[in-house]
Structure 1
């Protein structure tokens, strides 16, 4: 029994990472696949582990640098007898050749070192697959980096598009970063029909309100996970990067002066209705104490780890300035 099968038997299911390559694709032997990152992943019978992927499996979708999101496979489309174009090195027949930007000939084969202008093209029969996970998808937005994913992998290969993951450890790692998946039972909807062609584009986007704001938010997500510092775990779509010092005054983004806050909490924070003591205790303005959802936040400890990056002098400054108006 393989390590993948042993873990699957012990935990009741498998886990995989799916590599989305897109514009980062280096090797030119395959033309790539049509994926809608937040909805589905396409592959075929030339890809390693293609037979093992099943409904109910946990998947982490990644690029070459970080995890993009996680979900459970809800359905699999299988289409046999398809034709696929595949390009090979004309000398050794390998598909692992790269396109060169500044040198000629255009391509160079990594295994044998041959440079050439035109690859050998063949047509092969394949079965194509599309794994659907959009109903349980939760964005990770890079809060798990490549090194962390490598530690969770059951494969040592960097080249696999579909890599086996340790299911239980992956679920724990995702939960530790503030992500809350729906109940797994949602994945077992085998009877539902999915179209074979999905609309292009992405379902979720992150808008940058100011230059640098998106990078600032990404840095905070990488540091703290998808966790509102005041209320705890929250969907990625409602988390915003907040400044302890007004950006309009400093015009700089420092992780030491930033917090991830839920959108409504961020508004209260910027409006001087919520602040944090130097001991990292949440304080709410007296004018909000009639609102149960917000008065319940009074006295709570900030949801940050002990090794947080916060500049406590700046926290103290924000607390003094805010409470002076109450």
Structure 2
């Protein structure tokens, strides 16, 4: 029987009262840690359905689960010491404890080393925004009244509900192995775990970019926040620092192509250029020769010139005066 999970993703830098949040990209990855109930039960090959408390966002199949470690700040009620606290947007005091009802402005806090998890499910993803509402999704869970952010659900019920609402065939969901009609073959290796280094401060970095530029891809223009990634313009693996003005928001696909150097900004013209392979695709060909869609600061231009030099120097030389001495050779996915 296929295992499915209904997991909560409520917008940018998903938060609850007990911690500083998680950096999710619903169509690509979902993050959690070992403080979350059911944290160790999700496995490669499971179906993952993401929702925002009101509606379905989409459905995917987990192809990998990456693990890491980080030191996390946990917050709790100063009265009962429970982590079930909630910030109040308009009322004062600023916090309320859901367990004992205490009201307070400053929660208690402590640090703890946690195991982090991140699913990769973008290879088999179906956008399902609005197909099912919150009430319908809760009814598909093993425990419909559960308040957990990660809830076991019935894939057969979820599949049938989506098909019934969307009026599509099972194959269109792209969730089953080779169109087997709902019975997927076991993925070899079961639960593949991969240790990765966790980037400290990535969520605040993305939040700052959203504050600076709004929901705008720097190369393609306005886009939903869920489709935008925080792109470092230098190699974070080398620098291990979130430099001021060292990043831009890029749409998921554009970010990937930028990291490979197939999309770059010519420092001589200030215009976007795409490589020949991309010119056959209209969505990317129309970017060629365009100016970026956000106003670039001098610091952005310095990092973009370094990126151009690394990936395009064979074709065009970058003037020495525009080449940053401190720029790191390379970029990577955020």
Q: How does 1:245-324 map to 2 (within 5 A)?
A: none
Instruction: Tell me the CA shift for residue 137 of structure 1.
Output: 0.6
Which residue is 1:69 aligned to? 58
* Cα offset, 1:90, TM superposition: 0.6
Unaligned ranges ≥5, structure 2: 179-185, 207-214, 225-334
1:48 aligned to which of 17, 31, 37: 37
> Residue 128 of structure 1 corresponds to which residue in structure 2?
116
| Aligned residue in 2 for 1:324 | none
Q: For the structure 1 residues 19 and 101, does the alpha-carbon distance in structure 2 shift closer, same or farther, using more than 3 Å as the test?
A: closer
User: Who is 1:99 aligned against?
Assistant: 87
Instruction: Tell me how large the CA RMSD over aligned residues is.
Output: 3.5
Greater Rg by CA: 1
Farther off after superposition, 193-202 or 141-150: 193-202
2:25 is matched with 36
Instruction: Give how far 1:98 is off.
Output: 2.0
Deviations 1:197-248, CA, capped at 9 Å, x for gaps = 7996899x9989xxxxxxxxxxxxxxxxxxxxxxxxxxxxxxxxxxxxxxxx
- Could you tell me which of 177, 187, 191 is aligned with 1:185? 177
- Counterpart check, 1:19 vs 2:11: no
Say which SS state the counterpart of residue 36 (structure 1) adopts: coil
Alignment TM-score, normalising by the size of structure 1: 0.53
Deviation at 1:159, TM superposition (A): 1.8
Deviation at 1:22, TM superposition (A): 3.0
Decide whether the 8 Å contact of 2:43 with 2:62 is kept in 1.
Answer: yes
Q: Does the 8 Å contact 1:58/1:70 carry over to 2?
A: yes
Distance 1:26 1:126, change over 3 A: closer
Please say if residues 56 and 128 of structure 2, whose CA atoms lie closer than 8 Å, have aligned partners that are also in contact: yes
Aligned residues: 196
Aligned 8 A contact 1:22 1:32 in 2: no
Corresponding residue SS for 2:89:
coil
Distance 1:137 1:129, change over 3 A: same
> Structure 2 length normalisation: TM-score?
0.51
Deviation at 1:92, TM superposition (A): 0.5
